[in-house]
């Protein structure tokens, strides 16, 4: 019996081992060109319900790119814009501006930057803006075959925890699974299939948990 609880899930997995193991094909992670230019509010529905700027709007995103696929961003360009904006709002630079306001803006920019830089949190944020939750309590009912695969992987980890070479191999395999889910999230979002994207976000969250387990051995 295997129990594993990923972040954001209230229930743990408790399943019997399957007879067959599902095989996955590894996909490379694509990195699209992303232009951060002249983002006009309202062209992409990522603004918060309170009327605040979305995380994408904070970084002057290109709305035409977001309409095609909000998940595919150029993280290098994002970092460049972040560094420029965080410098502008630094209390020592923002003359005539209340220091508390500058600190709050800096914290908000950093929170947005950290969210968009990481594939999992970026996808979760996009789905949140769409009103779709990825915190499923009955994922075992929705995706039982996947949870069976998780159980197989856990058992393989348990059987090889004293073998550094095998653990390294398992980490490489898990990186491939994470890349596959990231690719599938991108495809689902490019097709505006938010429910399918949420399914793969849930899977990615579990593979991230496996990754953490492997790194802690």
Task: Say yes or no to pLDDT of 33 above 60.
Answer: no
Q: What is the pLDDT of residues 82-134, one digit of tens each?
A: 999 999 887 666 665 667 888 888 999 999 999 999 999 999 999 999 999 88
Arithmetic mean of pLDDT, 33-40: 39
Say if CB 74 and CB 32 are below 8 A apart.
Answer: yes
Q: What is the pLDDT of residues 147-186, one digit of tens each?
A: 899 999 999 999 999 999 999 999 999 999 999 999 999 9
Q: Name the residue with higher pLDDT: 97 or 36.
A: 97
Residue where the block lists tokens 């990522």: 46
Task: Say yes or no to pLDDT of 72 above 90.
Answer: yes
Percent of the chain whose predicted confidence (pLDDT) is above 70: 70
pLDDT score recorded for residue 161: 94
pLDDT score recorded for residue 121: 97
Q: Name the residue with higher pLDDT: 76 or 48.
A: 76
Task: Say yes or no to pLDDT of 19 above 60.
Answer: no
Cα 25 to the chain's mean position, in Å? 20
pLDDT score recorded for residue 64: 75
pLDDT score recorded for residue 24: 34
Task: Say yes or no to pLDDT of 14 above 50.
Answer: no
Q: Name the residue with higher pLDDT: 41 or 67.
A: 67
pLDDT class of 61 with cuts at 50, 70, 90: confident
Kindly list the distances between the CA atom of residue 137 and the CA atoms of 7, 17, 134, 158, in Å, as whole numbers in the listed order.
12, 20, 9, 26
Say if CB 33 and CB 62 are below 8 A apart.
Answer: no
Q: Which two tokens stand for residue 98?
A: 């209340």
Arithmetic mean of pLDDT, 190-212: 95
For 94, phi then psi, to 5°, come to: -75, 80
Distance CA 87, CA 10 (A): 40
CATH architecture for segment(s) 139-215: Up-down Bundle (1.20)
């Amino acid at each position: 019996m295997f129990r594993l609880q990923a972040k954001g899930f209230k229930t743990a997995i408790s399943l019997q081992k399957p007879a067959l193991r599902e095989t996955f094909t590894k996909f490379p992670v694509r990195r699209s060109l992303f232009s951060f230019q002249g983002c006009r509010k309202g062209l992409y529905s990522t603004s918060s319900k309170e009327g605040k700027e979305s995380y994408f709007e904070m970084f002057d995103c290109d709305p035409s790119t977001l309409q095609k696929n909000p998940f595919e961003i150029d993280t290098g360009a994002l970092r460049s814009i972040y560094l420029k904006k965080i410098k502008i709002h630094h209390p020592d630079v923002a003359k005539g501006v209340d220091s508390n306001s500058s600190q709050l803006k800096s914290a908000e920019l950093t929170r947005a930057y950290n969210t968009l830089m990481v594939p999992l949190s970026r996808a979760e944020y996009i789905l949140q803006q769409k009103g779709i939750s990825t915190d499923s309590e009955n994922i075992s009912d929705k995706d039982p075959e996947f949870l069976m695969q998780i159980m197989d992987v856990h058992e393989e980890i348990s059987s090889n925890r004293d073998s550094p070479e095998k653990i390294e191999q398992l980490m490489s395999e898990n990186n491939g699974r994470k890349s596959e889910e990231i690719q599938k999230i991108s495809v689902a979002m490019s097709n505006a299939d938010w429910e399918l994207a949420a399914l793969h976000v849930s899977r990615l969250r579990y593979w991230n948990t496996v990754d953490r387990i492997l790194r802690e051995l």
